[in-house]
Amino acid sequence: MTNDRRRATARRTPRLAVDLRDALGLTGTLVKYLSASALVPAGVAILYREPFWPFLAAGAIAFAAGLGLERLGRHSHGVGFREGYLVVALTWLLAAVFGAIPYLLSGEPQLDGPVNAFFESMSGFSTTGASILTNVDTVDHSLLLWRQFTQWLGGMGIIVLALAVLPRLRVGGRQLLDSEMAGPETDPLADRIRTTARRLWLLYIALTVALAAILVVFGVVGVDHRMGLFEGVSVALATMPTGGFMPTSGSLADFAAASQWVVVVFMLIAGVNFALVYRALVRRRWRSVGADEELRLYLGILLVASVALVAEIWSDGLAEGEAALRHGVFQVVSITTTTGFASTDFGTWATFALMLLLGLMFVGGSAGSTGSSVKVVRHLLVARSLRRELRQTLHPEEVMPVRLNGLVVQEKTLRGVVAFVLLYIGLFVIGAGVVAVDTAVQGPTISTIDAIAAAATSLGNVGPGLGVAGPFGSFASYPDVSKLTLAALMWLGRLEIIPVVVLMTRHYWRVR
């Protein structure tokens, strides 16, 4: 081969390993279709005689941006394995930007700056539920519903929705779905991804409708006087995605005990693998569902933590009888499933209770649920790997496969799980450090432990933190750097870290 030819071949090799045009094209398509979601709050605005143009304008901007990206890139319905990560990360980032536009355009004074609006929007799409709003009651209904609706969209996932609804969208096989769905291995409901995505969304919609109907009926028959149609729908839209936004101040504290118990049940379901929920509710295979090891551990953790918390608040005299039981169980389920609702201002509880709840932020829901954080199955697999390592020190030659539900877990999956947990801890430490330093520079209102809780609650997509950012408080007083850091943690947490972090590596962009 001559030197000239070699040079010619070298020139033809693209410097970038990622096909940017493909990735941007698909991202544009996804954003373009997502812009249609602005019609929902616009409709609500018309209903409540509130200004609807911020939503239409936001929709138009997103549509134009999507169209622009689509034109800029290649109009593509399929991307490769490598591009998939960029599509997922970028789509979610742009979704949060799009979600922030109505807050800015509406001129709502509490969400005036772009940082505040972006924080609120990312908190919505990532189903975190941490809010800037200090007084919810003065905010327009349509804006509040938009908040709830972004959570609902973010819960089951934008790309899963696109897969279910959009025609001829073939986004890189399972990998896109896997990077948006929670857990180390998603359990397919059907052979075809499209069918899986449809079943997931239908089940999700059905559960949301069921919860809204129950709550609205409670309001109508007088079980819960504060529960109207708007409140009932809002609660349902934030419960199923384990979101945690509320259109009323004081979260769920002012609603009736019956409503709170119903919400506990649905939070519990939202934290279960939807494949299991589908098998239980649709296929009625209760026995196989009941034998699931992740589900058992999930319920076990909830039970033990609830007992501990109920005992703590009862003995502290914060509540008694049914109220103690309800507040204990509610807070444990809400924090563990990463919903973030509160049935009472638990920010005033004793240190033990707060530390327990802070710890539960790292548990998370089950794989394949809408809950975030580390997830129960990863705790289970890490524990089993560690047990194996300990046994291996005594029996170096023994071959010990790690099993889950009787099936052998691939070593590759185990490595991925351990890597995830380490990355999770690493990001939490970095995030907490940045927030702690930043808030300390700004003044003494936010303690270091509050900063740590803020990082934990953001990365875990939980919602409430400690101190001023407690369940009835807000993140308004956090400085801008902290807000952006927390928003980044939410983004990382929702996409389960890897799709975002992999973009930061040199190998992602370069061939060699």
Partner 1 sequence: MTARTTATILRRDIAETVATRRQSTRLRVYPAPAVKIFVIGAGQVGTTIVEALHGEHDVTVLDLDPARLAAISQRFDVATLEANGASRRALADAGVRNADLVLACTSRDEANLVAGTFARLEAPRATTVIRTSNVEYIELWRQGQLDVDFVVSSEIETAHAIARVIGVSAAVQSDVFADGQVQLVEYDVTEGASREILGRPLREATVPPDSRLAAIIRDGTMTLPRGDDAILPGDRIVVIGSPRAATAWGKVLAPWEAEVEDVVIFGAGRVGTAIARQLLEQGIGVRLIEENRERARVVAEAFPRARVYNASGLDPDFLERERIGYADAAVFAMREDAKNHYVATLARIHGVTFTIAIVHDAISRQVYQHAGIDVQVDPRQVTAEEIVRFAHDPRTQQVAMLENDRFEVLDLTTRPTSEYVGLRFREMPIRGALIGAIVRDGQAVFPRSDDTLQAGDRVIVFTESERVPDVERVL
Q: Which residues bind partner 1 (CB under 8 A)?
A: 395-401, 403, 406, 408
Residue 236 or 409: the one with the smaller Cβ distance to partner 1 is 409
Residue 206 or 400: the one with the smaller Cβ distance to partner 1 is 400
String of DSSP letters for 100-160: HHHHHHTT-GGG-SHHHHHHHHHHHHTT------S-GGGS-HHHHHHHHHHHHHHHH-HHH
Residue 322 or 411: the one with the smaller Cβ distance to partner 1 is 411
Minimum CB distance to partner 1, residue 103 (Å):
53
Q: How far apart are CA 13 and CA 449, in angstroms?
A: 51
Residue 113 or 401: the one with the smaller Cβ distance to partner 1 is 401
Residue 284 or 395: the one with the smaller Cβ distance to partner 1 is 395
Residue 410 or 445: the one with the smaller Cβ distance to partner 1 is 410
Inter-residue contact 381 to 293 (CB < 8 Å)? no
Residue 6 or 403: the one with the smaller Cβ distance to partner 1 is 403
Can you say whether residue 172 is alpha, beta or left, with left for phi > 0 and alpha for psi between -120 and 50 degrees?
Answer: left
Q: How far apart are CA 379 and CA 429, in angstroms?
A: 19
Inter-residue contact 356 to 309 (CB < 8 Å)? yes
Minimum CB distance to partner 1, residue 301 (Å):
25
Minimum CB distance to partner 1, residue 399 (Å):
4
Residue 288 or 392: the one with the smaller Cβ distance to partner 1 is 392
Backbone angles phi, psi at 46, to 5 degrees: -60, -40
Minimum CB distance to partner 1, residue 412 (Å):
13
Minimum CB distance to partner 1, residue 405 (Å):
12
First to last CA, the chain: 22
Per DSSP, what are the bridge partners of residue 408? 403
Minimum CB distance to partner 1, residue 288 (Å):
18
The residues near 162 (Cβ < 8 Å, ≥ 6 apart) are: 30, 33, 169, 171
Minimum CB distance to partner 1, residue 396 (Å):
8
Alpha-carbon distances of 2 from 7, 11, 142, 431, 503, rounded to whole Å: 9, 14, 68, 53, 37
Of the candidates 194, 159, 180, 216, the one whose C-alpha atom is nearest the C-alpha of residue 26 is 159
Q: How far apart are CA 275 and CA 291, in angstroms?
A: 14
Minimum CB distance to partner 1, residue 398 (Å):
5
Is the CA virtual torsion 318, 245, 248, 478 positive or negative? Answer: positive
The residues near 263 (Cβ < 8 Å, ≥ 6 apart) are: 211, 215, 235, 239, 252, 330, 341
Residue 5 or 395: the one with the smaller Cβ distance to partner 1 is 395
Instruction: Compute CA 145 distance to the chain's CA centroid, rounded to the nearest angstrom.
Output: 18
Minimum CB distance to partner 1, residue 384 (Å):
13
